[in-house]
């Protein structure tokens, strides 16, 4: 019996020793990492992976032959439930505005983190903004009597003859965001070129972030749209309406900022980061718009734009131009109408939406059948034909044909329109949720 107790004791010590923090005892145990639990990002819905027949499901009445059918497979991802709203995009604009105000005008140490209290030790003199302090003491709303801060901020407002009734209005031309991202496709294409450095594949750009509010006039000749120009982006009545007047470059800059904004929160709490935000590919957009249905023309299913009661199911240009028959003369709230089977609102109508895909009439014939897309980073010197980006979904000013799931069209990446917005996606990290075994 004593020998048995002795053996049990030895085994217990061995097990406890192997599980202790003393080391891995020379065994292959992997690198210690924090656990990661998939979370549905705020405002997004989960889109399960799957295969579908991408392209025309009805007669191609335009004979364009640019949406030929092809069986493709899409990995799972998360997608914004709605198009990005004026309120959400204004958060981006205000962040850029406050960053410029603090770094270029105020230079007040109270608005910066100090090393050891949230900011990493800096060897190059770089300072980090204390955004918790900014939220508590807004930059553009200095306390009464703090005339020094108000005086320093005067340079951000319109000056001289550009002022209207001596009001302090931010000069929106100053609001620019510095973009930096690695173009992985280019890095893959040149991976065997030993003359290339990492910096050769880093895209750096400076993007004005304020929407072009004049699109309501420039898009339509002889139309009295001045009220939309004056109020659409700025008035709280439109806060939950889709942002418009943003170029493809601005939409992409928003996705990069949104990624950094979330990563800053995760870094502060030592949490694992989610996949970066980005614009959807055109295949992802069509797949999500179909809502899991097979062979349907519209996100809501059947071949008709009206339901059994005769109600229109989207915001577009019905009839001979009866804009208000669907409930809105222009855009409407992003949660108007019923969502599709994935819980996505207005995947057809209201505003057309930017995708990350470059437009090529014959793309369906050469893109891969797994996560297909054609993406090209156009240079300023490139011809206009290389600056075309796919636009999907149709808008409030489009006829019903453009609302079909398969309809493809394009716009130039530096062009802003009153009928084009966007929404974000982010890749699902790990195994498909429905395949957890």
Query: To the nearest whole percent, how much of the chain has pLDDT over 70?
Result: 88
Tokens of 429: 């990290």
CATH of the domain at 305: 3.90.1580.10
Highest mean pLDDT among 24-33, 126-135, 303-312, 419-428: 419-428
Choose the weakest-confidence range: 8-12, 120-124, 168-172.
8-12
Q: Which residues pair with 85 in a beta bridge?
A: 242
Mean pLDDT of the chain: 90
In order, the DSSP letters of 24-37 are -TT-----------
Residue 11 has pLDDT above 80, yes or no: no
Is 3 domain-assigned? Answer: no
> Tens digit of pLDDT for each residue in 86-141?
999 999 999 999 999 999 999 889 999 887 665 565 556 788 899 999 999 999 87
Report the number of distinct structural domains present in the chain: 1
Is 52 domain-assigned? Answer: no
- Please, how many CA atoms are within 13 Å of residue 102, restricted to the half-sphere of its CB? 23
Alpha-carbon gap, residue 403 to 297, rounded angstroms: 9
Tokens of 114: 């100090």
> pLDDT value at position 424?
98
Do 232 and 241 form a contact (C-beta atoms < 8 A)?
Answer: yes
Alpha-carbon gap, residue 253 to 424, rounded angstroms: 11
Give the distance from CA 418 to its chain's centroid. 18
Is 1 domain-assigned? Answer: no
Do 232 and 278 form a contact (C-beta atoms < 8 A)?
Answer: no
Give the distance from CA 376 to its chain's centroid. 18
Residue 30 has pLDDT above 70, yes or no: yes
Please indicate whether residue 354 or residue 125 has the higher confidence score (pLDDT). 354
Q: Domain residues for 305?
A: 58-82+245-437
In order, the DSSP letters of 279-309 are PPPHHHHHHHHHTT-SS-SBTTBSS-SB-TT
Is 255 domain-assigned? Answer: yes
Alpha-carbon gap, residue 44 to 79, rounded angstroms: 5
Angle at CA 250, nearest 5°, toward 241 and 238?
Answer: 15
> Tens digit of pLDDT for each residue in 373-399?
999 999 999 999 999 999 999 999 999
Is 412 domain-assigned? Answer: yes
> pLDDT value at position 192?
95
Alpha-carbon gap, residue 425 to 283, rounded angstroms: 12
Do 392 and 286 form a contact (C-beta atoms < 8 A)?
Answer: yes
Measured CA distances, 30 to 23, 34, 35, 39, 291 (Å): 12, 12, 13, 24, 40
> pLDDT value at position 107?
86
Residue 435 has pLDDT above 60, yes or no: no
Place of tokens 């960053």: 99
Section 183-194 average pLDDT = 95
**In the structure, what pLDDT confidence band is assigned to residue 59 with cuts at 50, 70 and 90?**
low
Please indicate whether residue 150 or residue 121 has the higher confidence score (pLDDT). 150
Residues with Cβ within 8 Å of residue 301, at least 6 apart in sequence: 291, 293
Q: How many CB atoms lie within 10 A of CB 351?
A: 31
> Tens digit of pLDDT for each residue in 224-238?
999 999 999 999 999
Residue 336 has pLDDT above 60, yes or no: yes
> Tens digit of pLDDT for each residue in 268-318?
888 989 999 999 999 999 999 999 999 899 999 988 999 988 899 999 999
Tokens of 222: 């002889």
| Closest by CA position to 213, among listed 198, 197, 235 | 235
> Coil, strand or helix: which one is 18?
helix
Alpha-carbon gap, residue 205 to 180, rounded angstroms: 7
> Coil, strand or helix: which one is 225?
coil
| Closest by CA position to 406, among listed 17, 1, 69, 77 | 69
Residue 80 has pLDDT above 70, yes or no: yes
**In the structure, what pLDDT confidence band is assigned to residue 181 with cuts at 50, 70 and 90?**
very high
Q: Which residues pair with 312 in a beta bridge?
A: 306
Is 343 domain-assigned? Answer: yes
* φ, ψ dihedrals at 248, nearest 5°: -60, -40
Residue 241 has pLDDT above 60, yes or no: yes
| Closest by CA position to 389, among listed 363, 366, 428 | 363
Give this prediction's pTM: 0.91
Residue 180 has pLDDT above 60, yes or no: yes
Please indicate whether residue 189 or residue 5 has the higher confidence score (pLDDT). 189
Do 333 and 241 form a contact (C-beta atoms < 8 A)?
Answer: yes
Is 395 domain-assigned? Answer: yes
Please indicate whether residue 17 or residue 407 has the higher confidence score (pLDDT). 407
> pLDDT value at position 10?
46
Is 290 domain-assigned? Answer: yes
Q: What is the DSSP letter of 164?
A: S
Residue 371 has pLDDT above 80, yes or no: yes
Place of tokens 């990624």: 259
| Closest by CA position to 247, among listed 95, 420, 386 | 420
Do 411 and 420 form a contact (C-beta atoms < 8 A)?
Answer: yes
Section 331-338 average pLDDT = 97
The length of the chain, given as a count of residues: 437
């Amino acid at each position: 019996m004593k020998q048995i107790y002795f053996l049990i004791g030895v085994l217990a010590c061995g097990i406890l020793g192997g599980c202790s923090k003393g080391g891995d005892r020379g065994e292959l145990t992997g690198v210690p990492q924090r656990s990661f639990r998939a979370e549905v990002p705020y405002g997004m819905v989960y889109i399960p992976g799957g295969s579908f027949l991408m392209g025309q499901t009805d007669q191609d009445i335009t004979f364009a032959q640019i949406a030929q059918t092809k069986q493709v497979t899409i990995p799972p991802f998360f997608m914004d439930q709605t198009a990005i709203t004026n309120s959400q995009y204004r958060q981006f604009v205000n962040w850029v505005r406050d960053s410029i105000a603090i770094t270029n005008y105020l230079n007040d140490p109270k608005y910066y983190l100090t090393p050891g209290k949230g900011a990493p030790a800096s060897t190059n003199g770089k300072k980090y903004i204390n955004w918790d302090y900014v939220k508590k003491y807004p930059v553009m709303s200095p306390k009464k009597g703090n005339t020094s801060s108000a005086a320093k901020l005067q340079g951000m407002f319109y000056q001289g003859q550009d002022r209207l009734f001596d009001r302090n209005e931010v000069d929106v031309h100053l609001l620019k965001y510095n973009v930096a991202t690695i173009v992985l496709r280019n890095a893959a294409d040149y991976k065997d070129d030993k003359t290339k450095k990492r910096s050769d594949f880093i895209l750096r750009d400076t993007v004005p972030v304020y929407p072009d509010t004049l699109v309501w006039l420039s898009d339509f000749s002889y139309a009295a749209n001045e009220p939309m120009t004056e109020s659409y982006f700025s008035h709280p009545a439109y806060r939950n309406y889709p942002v418009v007047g943003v170029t493809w470059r601005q939409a992409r800059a928003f996705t990069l900022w949104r990624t950094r904004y979330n990563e800053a929160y995760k870094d502060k709490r030592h949490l694992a980061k989610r996949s970066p935000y980005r614009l959807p590919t055109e295949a992802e957009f069509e797949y999500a718009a179909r809502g899991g249905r097979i062979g349907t023309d519209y996100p809501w299913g059947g071949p008709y734009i009206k339901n059994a009661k005769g109600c229109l199911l989207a915001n577009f240009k019905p009839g001979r131009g009866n804009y208000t028959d669907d409930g809105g003369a222009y855009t409407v709230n992003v949660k108007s109408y019923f969502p599709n089977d994935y819980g996505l609102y207005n995947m057809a109508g209201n505003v057309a939406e930017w995708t990350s895909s470059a437009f090529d009439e014959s793309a369906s014939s050469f893109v891969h059948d797994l996560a297909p897309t054609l993406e090209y980073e156009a240079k300023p010197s490139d011809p206009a034909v290389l600056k075309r980006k796919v636009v999907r979904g149709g808008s409030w000013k489009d006829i019903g044909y453009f609302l079909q799931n398969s309809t493809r069209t394009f716009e130039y990446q530096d062009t802003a329109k009153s009928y084009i917005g966007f929404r974000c996606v982010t890749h699902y990290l790990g195994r498909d949720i429905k395949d957890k075994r």
